[in-house]
Amino acid sequence: MLLISKDSEVVDLVSRVAGRSGVELVAQESIAEATKVIREEPINLVVLDLAPRAQRIAYLEEIKNWLGATPVIALTDWEDQMAGTLAYAKGADETLRKPLSEHTVERIFEKL
C-alpha cells in the first residue's frame, strides 16, 4: 500500500495500524517520491491525501492512468467537501474525511 501524505498525524496513524495488521506500507510525502515508488514497485492500494488540493487532484488522475484498476482512496479535510467531489470526478474509488480514526484505517486495510 502506498500512502501519500505530508500530514504527520495521518502517517503515524496509518503506519501504526499497518504494523498491527501486517500490511506492507510505503509512505511518501511528495509527488516525486510517490511517482518513483509507483514506477518501481507493485502497488495494490493508494491512499492519497488531497492537501494541497489543486496539485494533488491533478496527480490523482495521473495515478489512475498509471495504475488502472488499482484502488485509490482520497483523504480530504473535514471542511473541504468540494475536494471529495473533485476526487470522484478524477477517478477516486472512495473518499474519507480527516481526521481519521483507527477504525477508518482498519476499513482501508480490509480493501487489500
C-alpha cell at 95: 473518499
Return all residues near 33 (Cβ < 8 A) that are at least 6 apart.
none
Q: Is the pLDDT score of 112 beyond 70?
A: no
Model confidence pLDDT, tens digit, residues 56-91: 888 999 999 999 899 999 998 877 778 888 999 999
pLDDT at position 21? 85
Model confidence pLDDT, tens digit, residues 29-50: 999 999 999 999 999 999 999 9
pLDDT at position 107? 83
Name the pTM for this structure: 0.90
Q: Which domains does the chain possess?
A: 2-110 (3.40.50.2300)
